[in-house]
Amino acid sequence: MSDRDHLSKLTRRLQTNTELSQVEIDRLESLPMQIRTLARFQDVVQEGDHPTQSCVVLRGWLFRYRILESGRRQILSFHVAGEMPDLHSIYLEVMDHSLAALTPCDVALVPHRPLQEFVADHPRIGAVLWRDTLIDAGIFREWMVGIGRRSAFERLAHLICEMYLRLAHVGLAQDHSLEWPVTRTDLGDATGMTSVHVTRMLGELRRARLVALQGSTLTILDWGRLVAAAGFDPGYLHLRPSS
């Protein structure tokens, strides 16, 4: 697979919320990059690092996280193919969180210097990249609302709705079915619940015939009812209807 094929995942992701011309796609996909394969829980970058490159997820799931002094972990976000979860590091010198593989992953590492030059030379594409970062910040805000004000049941239902749409809009989920590699411990660390509480909430979702979980495949049995149960409004994802 060529570099262009790898970075096509990024351009497809960006086009879920912004229209790009073919010239802009060609320029973006010409960025220099290095492919790296990660094992589960292997870090891309750690809190306190001074990164010199940003990554594009090509395969698998990444997650942002913080580790408290007590050793407890808080997962801050999940990231899937086509997303660029550490784009902000081209301007923030020190990482204030860590980024790691939730599953075995392939990532494309794009050096900061050519990326900065590219953004300066192509301001419209730079604006598209920063718009994507602002949408990412919107997802952070929605997670904060969830942890602070939604019930445990609503929190889990909302996360399932969000991840399904994010995956579906880049061709990685369809027919209300998606790969779900997130363990109960991971879900607990992302939603502020214990793994026991997560198990209980998953059981409630199943008994309500909203979802079915078979191995690592999660199927949404009734999208409308799940959306209503979660109080889910996808506006914060800023997805283009034509995507």
For 138, residues 6+ apart whose C-beta sits below 8 A from its C-beta are 236, 237, 238
Average pLDDT over residues 153-167: 97
Q: How confident is the model at residue 24 (pLDDT cuts 50, 70, 90)?
A: confident
**Is 217 buried (19+), middle (13-18) or exposed (0-12) by CB count in 10 A?**
exposed
pLDDT, tens only, 206-241? 999 999 999 999 999 999 999 999 999 999 999 987
> What number of other Cβ atoms are within 10 A of residue 142's Cβ?
20
Residue 86 pLDDT: 95
Residue-range domain boundaries for the chain? 3-141, 150-237
Q: Give the closest residue to 180 by CA, choosing from 219, 132, 123.
A: 219
Average pLDDT, the chain: 93
Average pLDDT over residues 16-43: 90
How would CATH label the architecture of 150-237?
Answer: Orthogonal Bundle (1.10)
DSSP readout, 3-46? Answer: HHHHHHHHHHHHTTTS---HHHHHHHTTS--EEEEE-TT-EEE-
Q: How confident is the model at residue 1 (pLDDT cuts 50, 70, 90)?
A: low
> What number of other Cβ atoms are within 10 A of residue 36's Cβ?
15
> What number of other Cβ atoms are within 10 A of residue 11's Cβ?
20
Name which of 19-33, 157-171, 206-220 the model is least confident about. Answer: 19-33
Residue 243 pLDDT: 41
**Is 235 buried (19+), middle (13-18) or exposed (0-12) by CB count in 10 A?**
exposed
Name which of 22-26, 52-56, 112-116, 191-195 the model is least confident about. Answer: 22-26
Three-state DSSP state, 230: helix
The answer to whether 156 and 198 have CB atoms below 8 angstroms apart is: yes
Residue 241 pLDDT: 72
Q: Is the pLDDT of residue 19 over 80?
A: yes
Which residue is it, tokens 């990685």? 172
Q: What is the DSSP letter of 174?
A: B
Residue 190 pLDDT: 98
pTM: 0.93
pLDDT, tens only, 136-152? 999 999 999 999 999 99
CATH of the domain spanning 3-141: 2.60.120.10
Residue 5 pLDDT: 67
Which residue is it, tokens 């860590």? 98
Token couple for 99 = 């980024």
Residue 16 pLDDT: 82
pLDDT, tens only, 78-107? 999 999 999 999 999 999 999 999 999 999
